[in-house]
Amino acid sequence: MAAAGGARNHTPVNPPRLQDVATLAGVSTATVSRALSGKEHVSARARAKVQQAAQELGFVVSYHASSLASGRSRNIGVVLPYVDRWYFSTVLEGVAGALIEAGYDLSLYNFEGDRYRETVLTDFLLRKRLDAAVAVSLHLDPTDTEQLFSAGIPLVGVGGTLVGAPTISIDDLDVGRRATEHLIGLGHRRIAHLGGAEEGKRYFPMSNNRRAGYEQAMARAGLPVQPAWSLIADYTFTDAYHRTKNLLADPIDRPTAIFAASDEMAAGAILAARDLGLTVPGNLSVIGVDAHPIGEAFGLTTIDQHTRQQGVRAVGRLLEHLAGENSEPTNEVLPAHFVVRNSTGPATDPIDT
Amino acid sequence: MAAAGGARNHTPVNPPRLQDVATLAGVSTATVSRALSGKEHVSARARAKVQQAAQELGFVVSYHASSLASGRSRNIGVVLPYVDRWYFSTVLEGVAGALIEAGYDLSLYNFEGDRYRETVLTDFLLRKRLDAAVAVSLHLDPTDTEQLFSAGIPLVGVGGTLVGAPTISIDDLDVGRRATEHLIGLGHRRIAHLGGAEEGKRYFPMSNNRRAGYEQAMARAGLPVQPAWSLIADYTFTDAYHRTKNLLADPIDRPTAIFAASDEMAAGAILAARDLGLTVPGNLSVIGVDAHPIGEAFGLTTIDQHTRQQGVRAVGRLLEHLAGENSEPTNEVLPAHFVVRNSTGPATDPIDT
DNA sequence: GTGAAAGCGCTAACAG
DNA sequence: CTGTTAGCGCTTTCAC
């Protein structure tokens, strides 16, 4: 038999059940249930009595019982590869806020890179406790998604494409192109790119697309893309700092501008330039992507991808899906905007003809 | 009646129930339940048959049913004021990892400052779906905690003290004192502090304690604490950058060293100094707290508070508590260590006699 | 060691 | 509009 319920370490009071409220209000449990969940077919009078009684008893429905009986749990899973990185924690803030507003609980599943990928997918996500899930910047095989779908868990993706599910993202190719064109428009011809790695099967092709946008813009302008100037970093400030320092070490043959795929990397690049005695944007222009708060102090020009909003919109899409609307597995593209500060300026280096 | 179960948007298969496994294995549901939850009193043979059958059917227990019947949900709540700030997201990573290892689900509750404080405390936490909760750097009134306790939700705090519950923290007073003494030991006498605000009732007195440690060290060394040099910032890089710039503007009357309560603020201070043409540590020494990854590129001297580990330990403590051990409401102090790089050096400014 | 059976607390037909 | 009544799928005594 189940535990008698009650507190585990203090005043062990038996929490009131729906039946208690019904008795006190002088109605049936069915009416209490309807009244409390805001359903139709309850007289104003009954509703009032029920609310009064529930209030008096300090009643809160048991989610387990409610979920078991109804098949819905008002609980959404959020699956991501990292939580201590800016992009992910910011999307998470957006998702969490939107979920609270909608009255949903949030179950967090962190892969920690690939470490818990299998465990989460196999042991956690399938326990039928989720109404749906949002996958942030994750690459899920059709096998993985199919498994979730057939467990009755609809999915919405953020940050790229996901087979068979609706997704929210920005146009990374376009972002890469616009950032590069901003630099080209300022007269730069020697432009390097600091992007992310492909990262196996874990990620959406975000990094690749921004890099492709860079290459496309360069090609259109008839500019060469030197392999040595197309760097791969791990999206951290420090890694970008070190790689940029090496990149800029040669005073004769160095770029006059850098397009970094994230603001943290862009800021690291700026610091590296300064440590080398170069001025920004005097000797080097730098543009990033994100509108990360650290960019302000660096005077960083960037493209705002409205990260938090991506999370908010993902929840919106999910709720629409749950309501049976807009559940086509299409990709919804969110806009991204320039934020021009002063890390980018006209190319002046005489070397750069 | 409840929904027939099954998928919501693809192949609507009825998920196997415990009964199905029992039938296939030729035993009773009671035996299946025992076997699958690793309990005693099951013959090796029965256990094997059950596991085989469960495997075959792809059976996963329904957490709602299981929780309702047992009163336990293997679900822990994590409550914090922000998730998009480094300290919190890093503690969260630690908590999430430890929880996955232990087979627990994680429900995330983000206050967003104070925005959802009431909502979370009132509407979400009390729904009897949590076995316990960890509160990260949160100030909870005895009223709040008592409410949780009597709802049967044990609590563990991280980052300070919490009335009536076990807590994990570092010794902030000591950290503040050691950081300041490091500076004093290098010969500095004009030392400023960049700390956080008291922030109403939301936070643990972390900021205050680090500041108190600073004041204590200064007093012991017979050094004056100028009010104008005891700055209050919001823990962000950018705010620290601006405040430090103002602080250092006066070339005659300015500090030769700064103790910042976080690495992000310390890094912002370093950038501000450089923008003013000052060298670090030549003209200004800076020390932070955190071991934030950004510190490396800045060569920042800091005190590592092993943030992730605080989260891991909190879960450890919680599991002990749930197992009935070590449930005294005591504070467990974790160590913090110096990481000396090159943002701190001997005081050389002639002004500083 | 194993099975029968009584719930856990709530929801949703269905009948009235 | 409201009450009655089956369950939702599992855990856990209790008897065998």
Q: Could you tell me the CATH number of the domain that includes residue B252?
A: 3.40.50.2300
What is the reported pLDDT for A338?
98
Answer for the pair B86, B264: CB distance below 8 angstroms, yes or no: yes
Q: Is B7 a residue whose pLDDT tops 80?
A: no
Query: Stretch A28-57: mean pLDDT, rounded?
Result: 92
Do residues A291 and A193 share a domain?
yes
Do residues A164 and A190 share a domain?
no
Q: Is B336 a residue whose pLDDT tops 80?
A: yes
Q: DSSP string spanning B221-273? A: TT----GGGEEEE-S-HHHHHHHHHHHH--SSS--SEEEESSHHHHHHHHHHH
What is the reported pLDDT for A162?
82
Residue B351 CB lies within 7 Å of the nucleic strand C: no
The separation, in Å, between residue B26 CA and nucleotide C3 C1' comes to 12
Average pLDDT value for chain B: 91
Q: Is B5 a residue whose pLDDT tops 60?
A: no
Q: B294, B310, B312, B318: which to substitute to probe chain A, counting the most A Cβ within 10 Å?
A: B294
C-alpha distances in Å from residue A304, one per residue of A82, A94, A346, B68: 21, 15, 22, 46
Task: Name the residue of chain A whose CA is nearest to B238's CA.
Answer: A297
Give this prediction's pTM. Answer: 0.93
Q: Give me the count of residues in chain A.
A: 353
**Residue B235 is part of which domain span?**
172-304+337-352
Q: Which residues of B touch A6 (CB under 8 A)?
A: 152
Query: Mind listing the pLDDT tens digit for each residue in B88-118?
Result: 999 999 999 999 999 999 999 999 999 999 9
The verdict on residue B5 lying in a domain is no
Query: Stretch A284-288: mean pLDDT, rounded?
Result: 98
C-alpha distances in Å from residue B185, one per residue of A84, A135, B120, B170, B285: 34, 50, 46, 23, 12
The separation, in Å, between residue B102 CA and nucleotide C5 C1' comes to 33
Nucleotide C2: closest residue by CA–C1': B31
Which H or E run contains A89?
Answer: helix A86-101
- Strand C near-CB residues (< 7 Å), A 55-74: 59, 61-62, 65-66, 68-72
Residue B285 pairs in a beta bridge with B257
Do residues A287 and A318 share a domain?
no
The verdict on residue B279 lying in a domain is yes
The separation, in Å, between residue A124 CA and nucleotide C10 C1' comes to 25
Do residues B48 and B189 share a domain?
no
Which ranges of chain B does DSSP label H, i.e. alpha helix?
A: 18-25, 29-36, 44-57, 63-70, 86-101, 117-119, 142-150, 172-185, 206-220, 237-248, 263-275, 294-298, 307-322
What is the reported pLDDT for A139?
85
Contact A120 B106 (CB under 8 A): no
The verdict on residue A327 lying in a domain is no
Contact A237 B60 (CB under 8 A): no
Contact A93 B112 (CB under 8 A): yes
What is the reported pLDDT for B352?
44
What is the reported pLDDT for A202?
54
Do residues B35 and B100 share a domain?
no
**Amino acid at residue number A324:** G
Taking the C-alpha atoms of residue A173 and residue A216, their distance in angstroms, rounded to an integer, is 9
The verdict on residue B3 lying in a domain is no
Task: Name the residue of chain B whose CA is nearest to A74's CA.
Answer: B124
Residue B66: which nucleotide is closest by CA–C1'?
Answer: D10
Residue A297 CB lies within 7 Å of the nucleic strand C: no
Do residues A346 and A245 share a domain?
yes
- Strand D near-CB residues (< 7 Å), B 37-66: 37, 59, 61-62, 65-66
Q: Which of helix, strand or coil describes residue B300?
A: coil
Nucleotide C3: closest residue by CA–C1': B28
- Best mean pLDDT range from A144-148, B57-61, B338-342: B338-342
Strand D bases with any atom < 7 A from protein Cβ = 1-13
Domain harbouring B64, CATH code: 1.10.260.40
Q: Is A51 a residue whose pLDDT tops 90?
A: yes
CA atoms within 13 A on the CB side of B281: 23
Query: Mind listing the pLDDT tens digit for each residue in B121-172?
Result: 888 888 778 999 999 998 888 888 888 888 888 999 998 668 889 999 999 9
**Cis check: omega of the bond before B281, within 30 degrees of 0:** yes
Confidence band of A129 (pLDDT split at 50, 70, 90): confident
Using CB atoms within 10 A of its CB, is residue B250 exposed (0-12), middle (13-18) or buried (19+)? exposed
Q: Which residues of A touch B96 (CB under 8 A)?
A: 83, 108, 110, 112
Please state the domain count of chain B. 3
Query: Mind listing the pLDDT tens digit for each residue in A293-305?
Result: 999 999 999 999 9
Do residues A177 and A283 share a domain?
yes
Q: Is A120 a residue whose pLDDT tops 60?
A: yes
Answer for the pair A149, B132: CB distance below 8 angstroms, yes or no: no
What is the reported pLDDT for A35?
94
Query: Mind listing the pLDDT tens digit for each residue in B10-27?
Result: 445 678 999 999 999 999
Return left, alpha or beta for B341; rule: phi > 0 is left, psi -120 to 50 is alpha, else beta: beta
What is the reported pLDDT for A147?
85
The verdict on residue B6 lying in a domain is no
The separation, in Å, between residue A55 CA and nucleotide D14 C1' comes to 39
C-alpha distances in Å from residue A190, one per residue of A214, A253, A263, A270, A352: 12, 9, 20, 17, 7
Q: Is A339 a residue whose pLDDT tops 50?
A: yes
Task: Please indicate whether residue B353 or residue A126 has the higher confidence score (pLDDT).
Answer: A126
The verdict on residue A7 lying in a domain is no
Quickly tell me which residue has 């890694």 as its tokens.
A239
Query: Mind listing the pLDDT tens digit for each residue in B166-202?
Result: 999 999 999 999 999 999 999 999 999 999 887 555 5
The verdict on residue A10 lying in a domain is no
Do residues B210 and B279 share a domain?
yes
The verdict on residue A329 lying in a domain is no
Confidence band of A203 (pLDDT split at 50, 70, 90): low
The separation, in Å, between residue A72 CA and nucleotide C11 C1' comes to 11
Do residues A177 and A43 share a domain?
no
Strand C bases with any atom < 7 A from protein Cβ = 1-13
The two three-digit tokens of residue A270, written as one number = 């700026």
What is the reported pLDDT for A160?
67
The separation, in Å, between residue A63 CA and nucleotide C10 C1' comes to 9
Q: Which residues of B touch A299 (CB under 8 A)?
A: none
Do residues A266 and A176 share a domain?
yes
Do residues B150 and B180 share a domain?
no
Residue A2 CB lies within 7 Å of the nucleic strand D: yes
Residue B339 CB lies within 7 Å of the nucleic strand D: no
Task: Name the residue of chain B whose CA is nearest to A300's CA.
Answer: B238
Do residues A227 and A289 share a domain?
yes
Q: Is A140 a residue whose pLDDT tops 70?
A: yes
**Amino acid at residue number A302:** T
Answer for the pair B303, B286: CB distance below 8 angstroms, yes or no: no
Which among B50, B70, B90 is the end of a domain? B70
